[in-house]
Amino acid sequence: MNYSVAWKPDADDELAQIWVDSDDRMAVTSAATDVERMLGRDPLTLGEPRSGNFRVLFLPPLVVVYKVSSSRRKVWIVSVKSLG
Protein backbone atom coordinates (compact mmCIF):
# COMPACT_ATOMS: atom_id res chain seq x y z
CA MET A 1 0.00 0.00 0.00
CA ASN A 2 1.96 2.96 -1.21
CA TYR A 3 0.91 6.58 -0.96
CA SER A 4 2.47 9.52 -2.74
CA VAL A 5 3.77 12.17 -0.35
CA ALA A 6 3.82 15.89 -1.13
CA TRP A 7 4.93 18.87 0.91
CA LYS A 8 2.67 21.92 0.83
CA PRO A 9 4.75 25.03 0.02
CA ASP A 10 4.42 26.44 3.54
CA ALA A 11 5.56 23.15 5.07
CA ASP A 12 8.50 23.03 2.68
CA ASP A 13 9.47 26.57 3.71
CA GLU A 14 9.13 25.64 7.41
CA LEU A 15 11.40 22.64 6.93
CA ALA A 16 13.99 24.76 5.15
CA GLN A 17 13.99 27.27 8.01
CA ILE A 18 14.29 24.50 10.60
CA TRP A 19 17.27 23.13 8.68
CA VAL A 20 18.95 26.56 8.47
CA ASP A 21 18.43 27.20 12.18
CA SER A 22 19.45 23.74 13.34
CA ASP A 23 22.65 22.81 15.14
CA ASP A 24 22.24 19.28 13.76
CA ARG A 25 21.26 19.60 10.11
CA MET A 26 21.94 15.91 9.47
CA ALA A 27 19.27 14.98 12.05
CA VAL A 28 16.74 17.27 10.35
CA THR A 29 17.55 15.85 6.92
CA SER A 30 17.38 12.29 8.20
CA ALA A 31 14.05 12.85 9.97
CA ALA A 32 12.51 14.51 6.89
CA THR A 33 13.61 11.57 4.73
CA ASP A 34 12.21 9.10 7.27
CA VAL A 35 8.91 11.01 7.42
CA GLU A 36 8.45 10.74 3.66
CA ARG A 37 9.36 7.04 3.63
CA MET A 38 7.11 6.18 6.56
CA LEU A 39 4.12 8.19 5.38
CA GLY A 40 4.47 6.71 1.92
CA ARG A 41 3.93 3.22 3.32
CA ASP A 42 0.87 3.52 5.54
CA PRO A 43 0.14 6.97 6.95
CA LEU A 44 -3.05 5.99 8.73
CA THR A 45 -1.22 3.80 11.25
CA LEU A 46 1.29 6.51 12.14
CA GLY A 47 0.96 9.58 14.26
CA GLU A 48 -2.05 10.70 16.22
CA PRO A 49 -5.41 11.73 14.79
CA ARG A 50 -6.49 15.35 14.96
CA SER A 51 -9.64 17.14 13.83
CA GLY A 52 -10.77 16.55 10.27
CA ASN A 53 -8.46 14.29 8.30
CA PHE A 54 -5.34 15.67 9.95
CA ARG A 55 -2.78 13.63 11.85
CA VAL A 56 0.39 14.60 13.72
CA LEU A 57 3.62 12.62 13.73
CA PHE A 58 6.42 13.21 16.22
CA LEU A 59 9.76 12.15 14.75
CA PRO A 60 12.53 14.02 16.56
CA PRO A 61 13.62 16.63 15.87
CA LEU A 62 10.43 17.24 13.84
CA VAL A 63 6.70 17.45 14.45
CA VAL A 64 4.78 16.93 11.22
CA VAL A 65 1.10 17.64 10.58
CA TYR A 66 -0.30 15.84 7.57
CA LYS A 67 -3.55 15.04 5.81
CA VAL A 68 -4.40 11.76 4.13
CA SER A 69 -6.66 11.07 1.17
CA SER A 70 -7.16 7.31 1.11
CA SER A 71 -9.17 7.41 -2.09
CA ARG A 72 -6.36 9.24 -3.91
CA ARG A 73 -3.60 7.39 -2.02
CA LYS A 74 -2.03 10.77 -1.28
CA VAL A 75 -0.45 12.36 1.79
CA TRP A 76 -0.02 16.12 2.07
CA ILE A 77 2.42 17.40 4.65
CA VAL A 78 0.85 20.68 5.70
CA SER A 79 3.08 21.85 8.54
CA VAL A 80 6.38 20.99 10.17
CA LYS A 81 7.82 22.34 13.41
CA SER A 82 10.96 21.72 15.42
CA LEU A 83 10.73 19.84 18.70
CA GLY A 84 13.68 21.80 20.02
Q: Are 19 and 25 in contact (CB under 8 A)?
A: yes
Determine whether domain 4-82 maps to CATH 3.40.50.10470.
Answer: no
> Helix, strand, or coil here: 77?
strand
pTM: 0.93
pLDDT tens digits along 37-81: 999 998 999 999 998 889 999 999 999 999 999 999 999 999 999
Instruction: Please answer whether residues 61 and 31 qualify as being in contact, where contact means their C-beta atoms are separated by less than 8 angstroms.
Output: yes
Q: How far apart are the first and last CA of the chain?
A: 33
Distance between CA atoms of residues 59 and 33, nearest Å: 11
